[in-house]
Structure 1
């Protein structure tokens, strides 16, 4: 291999082992490789900036902002109340409330961390007060939060759609069935846990309680209907839907719920910008990394080697899933998509895998990576809410990760799950 190829592979690996933050590590590798390869100095910065200029990527900051605004405006609490009156009387009732509320909130925010924070802040203390182990409650909130990359609208699908040049609306619809199956699986774990630990069953909600919860929560329930209805009805694009979500959240939070003040908007926007800046920095540096990888022909060479040594499609998909799971344990999930995107697309093309089906496989892997120890992003959100250590949460999350892996296998080997609404 050339010196540039060694820098991109071994050099990058060494920086990760040394604990250099991902965005900085990939930026250092790109900068050094640029000098070594002799590329015109201005070409790379221009290309890196251009990689962040896609109109579709504007959905990321707006969906993140929408999630923050809806939490501050009280809509997440309304969703929890609606879910509570319908499923609290079941065995593992509060666990089911967490899953249902997260599923609906995911259809508004598109962000796993935002969903974990919004629902976890309410449900982790509530479950602990009702006799659930706090580590289990935190693990459930983290696991329910990662429904957001699958349930449309999804930031992860937006990023993959840009990378793979696929229809974002079609990718959104591909995540519906896998997301709902995963939600059912998480609820099954809650039911088993409650049975084994003899968690008391709550009383069934009365008709008056249900009516009141629906009346109070109507504006929260309308949010996903407006967003998804607008996208699939052709009224607006996914990016425009993200802006509509923000406007809706501000109007409802300020004038209907009256919990959101003008003074609150500045800090909320700032929090969203900080998260967005990290995501966009990773995308920018990863774009430069991808340009150098393309120049060295690393992706086609590796794809050719894999296809020459692995003949069966099912085995190739299994290898990719295992590799993705291991990488997601130590790397940022968005960075994996951007950096490995050309390689993954080349492999999918060589095995003639439907691009929408393949995109669902990739995003399901991304979702699992956000919850899997040791560095799943949502894990740290859950730890911040509960005050627990990583070991306390990680020890309880494996049954949920097991369900996620079962869903991943179904998505991988039963294309109908992701292509049902195509």
Structure 2
């Protein structure tokens, strides 16, 4: 490899190991590579500006803002209340409420951390009071949060669609079956845990109570229909749908639920900006990184090496999944997608993997990484809400991790599992 390639690979890895933030590590590695390759340093500024000016990127801060507005406006509580009337009387019912509420909230926010925070803040304390172990309560909220990247509209699919230059709407569809399958598996885990630990059932909701919860939660339940109906009805693009979601959440929170106050808005906007700023900074800087990686043909050389070393498609996909899972346990998932994207796409092309199917594999991996010890984002949110240690939640979450790996196996080796809803 050339000295430029070493800067982009080993140099970047060394900076990350030293604890540099990913965006800064990418920028420094790029700067060193530019100097050594005698390329005009202004290329870095041009690449960052170009990477930040992608229209689809607007959807990321907008969906994050929509999730914040939904939570502050009380719509997440409405979802929990309605789901509770449906399943709370069953064995494991309150834990099932977390899964069902997360399933709907995922279709609003598109974010695993936002889903975990919104549902976990309400249900982790409630489950602990109802007789569930605090560690299991936190682990099920963390696991339910993983539905965020799988159920459309998904921020992870938006990012991958930009990287791979694929239809974001088609990528959204590829996550629905894996996401619903994961949700059903989590419901089974809730039932088994409650049965083994003799968690008492809650009283069944009356028809009047169920109707009242539905009536009060109708605006929250309508939000996914507005967003997804607009996208698949051809009325709005995913980015425009994100803007519609924000306006919807703002109007409902201010004028219908009336739990959102104008004085809260600056803090809500600032929180959404902080979270999305980190994501967008990594993507912006990485666009130049990707250009240099392509120029040095690092992805092509790696794909060729892998093709020579591994001939079977199934074995290549297994190797990618194992590598992705290990990386996701110690590295930011979005950074993995952005930095390794060109290499991953080259490998998928070499082995003839459908690009939409491959996107589903990548995002399912990313979703698992959000809950996988030791640095899954959702784990830290669960720790903050439950006041438990990483070790306590990690020991409780292993059945859910095994379930996620089973869903990943189906997504990887049964293409129709992910592509079932694709238009013919």
TM-score by length of 2: 0.98
The equivalences for 1:245-264 within 5 A come to: 245-264=245-264
| Cα offset, 1:119, TM superposition | 0.4
| 1:133 match | 133
Mapped to 1, the partners of 2:26 and 2:381 lie a distance apart of: 24
| 2:174 match | 174
| 2:286 match | 286
Give yes or no for contact 2:47–2:285 (8 Å, CA) kept in 1.
Answer: no
Mapped to 2, the partners of 1:261 and 1:250 lie a distance apart of: 10
Give yes or no for contact 2:139–2:393 (8 Å, CA) kept in 1.
Answer: yes
- Secondary structure of 1:202's counterpart equals coil
How many positions carry a matched residue from both structures?
422
| 1:19 match | 19
Matched, 1:343 2:343: yes
| 2:32 match | 32
| 1:51 match | 51
Structure 1: gaps of 5 or more residues: none
| 2:117 match | 117
| Cα offset, 1:77, TM superposition | 0.1
Mapped to 1, the partners of 2:255 and 2:9 lie a distance apart of: 53
- Secondary structure of 2:204's counterpart equals coil
Give yes or no for contact 1:78–1:217 (8 Å, CA) kept in 2.
Answer: yes
String of CA shifts for 1:386-418, please: whole Å, max 9, x gaps. 122211211111111110000000000111111
Mapped to 2, the partners of 1:151 and 1:134 lie a distance apart of: 27
Give yes or no for contact 1:22–1:331 (8 Å, CA) kept in 2.
Answer: no
Matched, 1:159 2:159: yes
| 2:5 match | 5
| Cα offset, 1:355, TM superposition | 0.7
Give yes or no for contact 2:290–2:339 (8 Å, CA) kept in 1.
Answer: yes
| Cα offset, 1:21, TM superposition | 2.4
- Secondary structure of 1:39's counterpart equals coil
Matched, 1:232 2:239: no
Structure 2: gaps of 5 or more residues: none
The runs of at least 4 consecutive aligned structure 1 residues that moved more than 4 Å come to none
| Cα offset, 1:74, TM superposition | 0.3
The equivalences for 1:316-331 within 5 A come to: 316-331=316-331
| 2:305 match | 305
String of CA shifts for 1:303-332, please: whole Å, max 9, x gaps. 011011111111111000000001111111
String of CA shifts for 1:254-298, please: whole Å, max 9, x gaps. 111000011111110000000111101111222222122112110
| Cα offset, 1:139, TM superposition | 1.1
| 1:352 match | 352
Mapped to 2, the partners of 1:37 and 1:95 lie a distance apart of: 56
TM-score by length of 1: 0.98
Provide the aligned C-alpha RMSD in A: 1.0
- Secondary structure of 1:51's counterpart equals helix
String of CA shifts for 1:167-187, please: whole Å, max 9, x gaps. 000111111100000001111
Mapped to 2, the partners of 1:326 and 1:396 lie a distance apart of: 20
Mapped to 1, the partners of 2:298 and 2:322 lie a distance apart of: 21
| 1:271 match | 271
Mapped to 2, the partners of 1:169 and 1:25 lie a distance apart of: 32
The equivalences for 1:151-230 within 5 A come to: 151-230=151-230
| Cα offset, 1:16, TM superposition | 2.3
Give yes or no for contact 2:88–2:203 (8 Å, CA) kept in 1.
Answer: yes
Matched, 1:417 2:414: no
| Cα offset, 1:9, TM superposition | 1.7
| 1:83 match | 83
| Cα offset, 1:146, TM superposition | 1.1
